[in-house]
Chain A
Amino acid sequence: MTDLARQPKAGEDERIALARQGDVPAFEALYREHVGRVYGLCLRMAGEPQAAEDLTQDTFVNAWRSLPGYEGRSSLATWLHRIAVNAVLAKRRSPVGRNEISLTDDSGEQMEFAAEPDMDEATPIDLERAIAALPPGARDIVVLHGIYGYSHEEAATMLGLAVGTCKAQLHRARNLMRGRMRMEATT
Chain B
Amino acid sequence: MTIRFTLLTAAVLAGLVQPAIAEQNLSKRATVAADATVDVSNVQGSVKVTAWDRNEVELSAMLESDKDRLEFEATDRQVRIKVQRPDGRYRDSDDALLTLKVPTGVRLIVNTVSADITVDGVRGEQRLKSVSGDVGTRGYDQPVSLHSVSGDVTLNGSGGKAQVSTENVSGTTVVNGIRGGFEGEAVSGNIKAGIAAAERLRVSSVSGDVEISTDLSPSARVEMESVSGTLALTIKPPVNAEFEIESFSGDIDSCFGTKPRDKSRYGPGSELEYTEGNGGARVMIQTLSGDINICDR
A residues at B contact (CB < 8 Å): 1, 4, 25, 28
Contacts and interface: CB of A to CB of B under 8 A. Distances in A.
B223 A4 contact: no
A11 to B, nearest CB: 10
Given A4-B109, A28-B221, 11 more contacts: A1-B39, A1-B78, A1-B80, A4-B37, A4-B39, A4-B78, A25-B200, A25-B202, A25-B221, A25-B223, A28-B200
Contacts, number: 13
A28 B201 CA distance: 13
B79 to A, nearest CB: 11
Contacts of B200: 25, 28
Nearest to B127: A7
B258 to A, nearest CB: 25
A84 B201 CA distance: 30
B130 to A, nearest CB: 18
A35 to B, nearest CB: 14
Nearest to A25: B202
Tell me whether chain A's interface is mostly helix, strand or loop, or mixed: helix
Instruction: Across the A-B interface, give the 6 residue pairs with the lowest CB-CB distance, nearest first.
Output: A25-B202, A4-B37, A25-B200, A1-B39, A1-B80, A1-B78
Nearest to B109: A4
Contacts of A28: 200, 221
In this complex, the interface size class of chain B, counting residues with CB under 8 Å from chain A, is under 10
Interface in B66-87: 78, 80
Interface in B17-45: 37, 39
A183 to B, nearest CB: 37
A35 B259 CA distance: 40
A25 B203 CA distance: 12
Contacts of A4: 37, 39, 78, 109
Contacts of A25: 200, 202, 221, 223
A28 B223 CA distance: 14
Nearest to A24: B221
A25 B199 CA distance: 11
B195 to A, nearest CB: 15
Interface string B188-207: 00000000000010100000
Contacts of B202: 25
B228 to A, nearest CB: 23
A68 B200 CA distance: 25
A1 B37 CA distance: 10
Nearest to B183: A25
Nearest to A7: B127
A1 B223 CA distance: 35
A4 B221 CA distance: 30
A99 to B, nearest CB: 31
A1 B39 CA distance: 10
A109 to B, nearest CB: 39
A104 B80 CA distance: 59
A1 B80 CA distance: 9
Contacts of A1: 39, 78, 80
A60 to B, nearest CB: 15
A54 B37 CA distance: 40
Nearest to B80: A1
A92 to B, nearest CB: 31
